[in-house]
Structure 1
């Protein structure tokens, strides 16, 4: 079983990579520029294409789309949220996810042909849920809402092929993004997410769940 993780150089992505490696899984970790990891900038289409070319013919049984950004936490409704910031978030948090999935579909299909349970996990956020609207962080919330929608529709199209898709909220985690006041440790989030992704199958494809298994509203 080979697992590819985007954004594996720190935080949740790094934690997941370490845990699966300890469990004996082959892990391909990616990052924009990190020694020892596959080079991938999800915001750059050429970088995504280059990764797919390097991995041509390599079966991948699980693709974990973890790379993401949150840069609008201090923006104000009056005069804030510039257009360039919108574009950057969607380029990474939405388009980057889609392009990575699209580019690595041949690898996922190869794993299917080998009889492996094949899946895609998209790390989104409860902040993208329309039922959990709390105001502020408009760009991040919108991009994560789009990521949820993307995952739901990918689940519909890929189910007939046998590829399961799950969307996950990692919790408010004490990472560089979450900050020191976060409620969930990296270790707990990683352990929970790993369990959810390991258990993902076609029965629950299209699910939106928290790291602890709680089913979340879209």
Structure 2
């Protein structure tokens, strides 16, 4: 029986690479993005395999999240990957923080992963308890922050890490594992052309880490190579 994974932000970058990695591993992938009609690579993969279901979802629309969960009520989830992310403005510096953009980044990076976990909790706890994997970033680490700046994105990922820790405390007694993952500095629209690794390298590493998680790993912050990242 195929395992099921739901991936947000699945139309490009690490999300798209994760879709392909899990399809190649024989999983059924539920790939979410805001505009599936514009996601040409996902559409092509959907034409090639019945193991890919392409779904429209704006992760900031909480009613849409609930509706999707109701639509998938009878489908057990082995894995929820909260990958959708937004960096916000760059290079603004101290004294120039755009509060509206800050709210938008928090909606996508911090609030949405929790609302998805809440909505898909029934599917994650049915049959074999599943895994909630939230795409965080090393820049959300307090220990790693030695350069300052990046107030908006840094704070959203630090807050996401706190969400993951609470999810672990609340859901691990039922067998559901929750982790924060650092994908590496990846060559994506967000990471830029000078990044160190390709999306495929990140996705392969992330999948290996997720596949080898045990209950003792719940509530931890790991990179794509399985190394612990300091809070």
TM range (shorter): over 0.9
Structure 1: stretches of 5+ with no match in the other structure: none
Q: 2:18 aligns with which of 16, 19, 29?
A: 16
Instruction: Name the structure 1 match of 2:187.
Output: 174
Report the Cα distance in structure 2 between the residues aligned to 1:39 and 1:196, rounded to whole angstroms. Answer: 28
d(CA) in 2 for partners of 1:159 and 1:179?
A: 36
SS in 1 for 2:184: coil
Is contact 1:39–1:51 with CA below 8 Å preserved after alignment?
no
Whether the 8 Å CA contact 2:88–2:102 is kept in 1: the answer is no
Query: How far does residue 39 in structure 1 lie from its aligned partner after superposition?
Result: 1.0
Alignment check: 8 A CA contact 2:86 2:105 kept? yes
TM-score normalised per structure 2 = 0.89
Structure 2: which 5+ runs fail to align?
38-42, 44-53
Query: Alpha-carbon deviation of 1:74?
Result: 2.1
Which range moves more in the overlay, 32-41 or 85-94? 32-41
Quote the offset at 1:150 in angstroms.
Answer: 0.5
The one-character-per-residue Cα deviations of 1:28-76 (angstroms, maximum 9, x if unpaired) are 1100111352111111112211211211121111000000100122212
Q: Distance in 1 between matches of 2:103 and 2:25?
A: 38
1:197 corresponding residue in structure 2: 210
RMSD over aligned Cα, in angstroms? 1.1
The separation in 2 between residues aligned to 1:44 and 1:74, in whole angstroms, is 28
Cα deviation for residue 117 of structure 1 reads: 5.0
Partner of 2:30: 28
Other-structure match for 2:135: 123
| 8 Å Cα contact 2:180/2:220 also seen in 1 | yes
Q: Hey, what does 1:161 align to over in structure 2?
A: 174
1:96-135 equivalences under 5 Å are 96-110=112-126, 114=127, 116-133=128-145, 134-135=147-148
Distance 1:136 1:129 in 2: 13
